[in-house]
Amino acid sequence: MKTMVVLGMLAALCTPLSYAETRGEQLYETYCSQCHGLNGAGGGINVPDMAVQPRDHTDTAEMSARTDEELAKAIREGGKAVNKSVLMPAWDSNLSDRQIDDLVVYLRHLCCEQ
């Protein structure tokens, strides 16, 4: 009985990802995690070789200060387009508009819904 109560409590804490968030998570793992890390905190495998540290996508205050349009522009056109690091590449030739939108949805999940 105690096990069922604990599992029920855990299920209530773990909100399932929406379809867009799931697609965004898959894209994030492929295109973003090398720098931003799998959990989004900025600790990817490329970090030791980077002069500028990647954005911590789990920082609610910082990420909440960015509009969805700014996030999409950074993904689409690269960091330089939004006065951030030139190390952030432009993904517009690799990702569709829908994929970029899905990434933005997942970024909102990382920063604000966990």
pLDDT at 56 over 60: yes
Mean of the per-residue pLDDT values of the chain: 88
**64 is written with which tokens?**
């909440």
**CATH code of 69's domain:** 1.10.760.10
Per-residue pLDDT of 65-113, as tens digits, reads 999 999 999 999 999 999 999 999 999 999 999 999 999 999 999 998 8
What is the spatial distance between Cα 37 and Cα 86, in angstroms, rounded to a whole number? Answer: 18
> Percent of the chain at pLDDT above 90?
80
> For residue 82, is it within any domain?
yes
pLDDT of residue 10: 47
**Which amino acid, one-letter code, is at 110?**
L
Q: 55 lies in a domain?
A: yes
Domain carrying residue 35: 17-112
Taking the model in full, what pTM does it have?
0.83
Structurally, how many domains does the chain consist of? 1
Domain contains 67: yes
Nearest to 108 by CA among 47, 13, 52, 25: 25
